[in-house]
Structure 1
Amino acid sequence: MNKIEQVDVVIIGAGPSGSSAAALLRKKGYVVTIIEKQYFPRFSIGESLLPQCMVFLEEAGLLDAVREHVQAYAFQFKNGAAFLCGHKRSHYNFTEKFTEGPGTTWQVRRADFDNLLAQQAQAYGADIRFGHEVIAVNVDVQQPLLTVLDEHQQQYQIQAKFLLDASGFGRILPKLLDLESPSDFPVRRALFTHIEDGINDQADFDREKILITVHEKDRRAWYWLIPFADGRASFGVVAEQDFFDHYHVQDATQNEPEALLKRILADDPSLSKLLAQAKFDTPVRTLVGYSANVKHLAGSNYALLGNAGEFLDPVFSSGVTIALKSSSLAVPLLDRVLQGGHVDWMQAYEMPLRKGINVFRAYVESWYEGEFQDVVFSSNQNESIRRMISSLLAGYAWDDQNPIHKNAKRRLGTLAEYCREGLAQEQALEI
């Protein structure tokens, strides 16, 4: 094995958290190497960004690169979220929110979006090694030591003053360091693809909003429809396995992912009418048991970013927001460490990051339990409550000035009760 390379920071993974962290570190002059197993561009879901992302992209110097490619990559302007369940409809405009900050963003093909961020990180001087795989890590030494397999299947070692894991669903450090902790969410399955949606201009559909459709027969199940600007869309369904079992038939060929997804789509009259002209021209993929957690998010010489630490659920599109927030929080602390200072990573990183994650978690739990669905589809919402909810849906989960931020789960339950009864909602926030 060749001589051990020495750098300031090694980042595992070139997705949004890895590329944004690299860009932020390069702004401070550090030598950064990213080890990325795949080659970009590569397919990924999580295409509906939240407005909070814009703050973090601008901070990392990545926003202009995205803006410059909006038309070329058919990124769709996004200003809110729409909800559908049978004949019930609701929507939230993110510009009408409680929290200060951007109220619009884009819906993006992640292959193009992630590649743009990685290219910009490279332009800032980050060394990204595509097709390289981390196969071993030693963090018991003062400076983490990684063993890497390159694209020619040759091993080499690289040592850093600090290590960031931005490997997403690959979860490299959680697996190698035995950090994984079971999620307390039920095991759910996502079935998804990209389609030519065939939605005409006369349809009752707003391309500037993600559409979340609740299955009328099982409110634990929901569909996403994320339109792009060129007539294509990301489409998928999420549910527990018993929901999918209900749609299985004796003919095994009809249980293949595409046939199964089409059969589930056909069971929703409103959505199937909207997508009556859709063309399924991309392989349908599946992801099972995606929710994950870890014992802790950082050690003395490493930290976990984004989905490498915790992934909740795709229902409110929080993944990229949490990824970018984690980089924004971690890099100033890492800078302090590299300058010889001390950081209490639990107090300064994990606890602040988890505050927002836990707010998202409360919304996810309340969604599947049906309480937040009752709030969303209620006709009894007043404007102040709508603005508070809109802020959370827009990704501002770390705004502790928002009245429904504190004790989010309990307050959502109370709001749901008041929405069902049609009572004054302000009273719910005083409980």
Structure 2
Amino acid sequence: MQTREVVVIGAGPSGAIASALLKRQGHDVLVLERQHFPRFSIGESLLTHCLDFVEEAGMLPAVEAAGFQFKNGAAFSWGERYTDFDFGDKFGHGRDSTFQVQRASFDKLLADQAALQGVAIRYGESVIAADFSGAQAALRVQREDGSEYEVSAQFVLDGSGYGRVLPRLLDLDTPSAFPNRCAVFTHIEDRIDDPDFDRNKILITIHPEHRGVWYWLIPFSNGRCSLGVVAEESFYRDQPAELQACLQKLASEPPMLARLLKNAVWDTPVNRQAGYSANVKALHGRNFALLGNAAEFLDPVFSSGVTIAMHSASLAAGLVHRQLGGEQIDWDSAFSTPLMRGVNTFRAYVEGWYDGSFQNVIFQSERNNEIKKMICAILAGYAWNADNPFVAEAKRRLRVVSELCALA
């Protein structure tokens, strides 16, 4: 039996941030990561709020020096309609720019930065059993060669993302309220030569006939981009079964997207990910807490996943530090409740996206500039700022504005 103060499951963004923050507070931290880095992942368009946590963990200089694609906003297209949001023109305080990253190199950079700060990271090791009934947590870990060992910890943070280690082992999973959607995606050499295309923004495109079907186009700094389409599983029944043929066909249907990608080189296998929306019965328990996607994942449409992951990592790391120092922590009021305020804000806009109300607001012809700034702040990731009326009363205000757009 090995003993550690804190074990973090997963070396992705939430695990790297949480482990670095705890190490900076002087704690003994071990990270267990099932895969080897670099490894492919989607979720490549960071929101500006992400960099607040990257800076808190002492990693911002390395990220700024890495040569990632500069990002200063988000653009939306639907048929021939086009609109954009500039993060420098938003409600409240916060950063005006961020990056669009290839997650393989970005995640490795964060993990390497955590290791440089003294965090112990073991790759190729999987947590296969967990017992939280005792005074300390007990984890059984399996190495790639099949051998096993046990490690005890005063606290465990699960940042395993889609692996959802503790939700599976502790039967914490509960069905998501969102329909079963599927993303089909790849990386391409985009060869975009359109002078009106802004590489500094993610482009979100709505299918010209099916408003619940949308695409992401995320430019990188090396002339490549991430391209994906999201739709309910049933939509794909009428599409080509072969994934590349399916994605190429669907990408040719929106006029602007077809125009932008006319010279693209499709040189990478196309992948799919289905049933990604997830939820849990509880975000924490005796000597453990769930971070980011390990707890709940909404939808990729507003790139909120990494932001929620990092926000939860920062929040949890601070609480673990206080608890290890002898303070009694009410994890419901100090972790679950404040974290879910932002999650539920994003949820309101995801629901509004798919029922069309938020799309109406985004594409209204005569937008109120103050409302645009408030929505822009949410698109930048500041979904926890209750001073923003579109955070404090997300559903009501979105409904009202959408109805006004319909009347106009």
Bucket of the pairwise TM-score, normalised by the shorter protein: over 0.9
- 1:152-301 correspondence to structure 2 within 5 Å: 152-200=145-193, 202-248=194-240, 255-301=241-287
Q: Is 2:389 the counterpart of 1:403?
A: yes
Paired-residue identity, %: 54
Q: CA deviation at 1:152?
A: 2.0
- 1:344-355 correspondence to structure 2 within 5 Å: 344-355=330-341
Q: CA deviation at 1:300?
A: 2.4
Residue type of the partner of 1:78? K
| Alignment partner of 1:317 out of 288, 300, 303 | 303
Structure 1: gaps spanning 5 or more residues: 249-254, 423-431
Q: Is 2:50 the counterpart of 1:53?
A: yes
SS in 1 for 2:226: strand
Mapped partners of 1:103, 1:179: distance in 2: 37
Aligned partner of 1:251 in structure 2 is none
Q: How many residues align?
A: 408
Q: Is 2:81 the counterpart of 1:88?
A: yes
Mapped partners of 2:212, 2:77: distance in 1: 14
Mapped partners of 1:242, 1:216: distance in 2: 18
Contact 2:47-2:307 at 8 Å conserved across structures: yes
* CA deviation string 1:325-346 (max 9, x = no partner): 0011111110111112111111
Mapped partners of 2:93, 2:106: distance in 1: 25
Aligned partner of 1:376 in structure 2 is 362
* CA deviation string 1:28-53 (max 9, x = no partner): 11110000000000000000000011
Mapped partners of 1:85, 1:234: distance in 2: 19
Aligned partner of 1:100 in structure 2 is 93
Stretch deviating more after TM superposition (151-160 or 5-14): 151-160
Residue type of the partner of 2:40? F
Contact 2:208-2:253 at 8 Å conserved across structures: no
TM-score by length of 2: 0.99
Aligned partner of 2:403 in structure 1 is 417
Q: CA deviation at 1:409?
A: 1.4
Mapped partners of 2:37, 2:16: distance in 1: 12
Q: Is 2:71 the counterpart of 1:78?
A: yes
Mapped partners of 2:11, 2:271: distance in 1: 22
Contact 1:8-1:31 at 8 Å conserved across structures: yes
Q: Is 2:100 the counterpart of 1:65?
A: no
Q: CA deviation at 1:221?
A: 0.3
Residue type of the partner of 1:20? I
* CA deviation string 1:118-140 (max 9, x = no partner): 00000011110000011111011
Q: CA deviation at 1:66?
A: 0.6
Contact 1:96-1:390 at 8 Å conserved across structures: yes
Q: Is 2:10 the counterpart of 1:13?
A: yes
Q: CA deviation at 1:421?
A: 2.4
- 1:28-43 correspondence to structure 2 within 5 Å: 28-43=25-40
Q: CA deviation at 1:267?
A: 2.0
| Alignment partner of 2:113 out of 116, 120, 128 | 120
Stretch deviating more after TM superposition (86-95 or 202-211): 202-211
Q: CA deviation at 1:204?
A: 2.3
Aligned partner of 1:391 in structure 2 is 377
Q: CA deviation at 1:413?
A: 1.1
Q: CA deviation at 1:242?
A: 2.2
Residue type of the partner of 1:137? A
Mapped partners of 1:42, 1:407: distance in 2: 39
Q: CA deviation at 1:291?
A: 0.2
Residue type of the partner of 1:110? R
Residue type of the partner of 2:272? T
Q: Is 2:298 the counterpart of 1:305?
A: no
Structure 2: gaps spanning 5 or more residues: none
Residue type of the partner of 1:334? V
The root-mean-square deviation of aligned C-alpha atoms, in Å, is: 0.9
Contact 2:80-2:255 at 8 Å conserved across structures: no
Contact 2:189-2:225 at 8 Å conserved across structures: yes
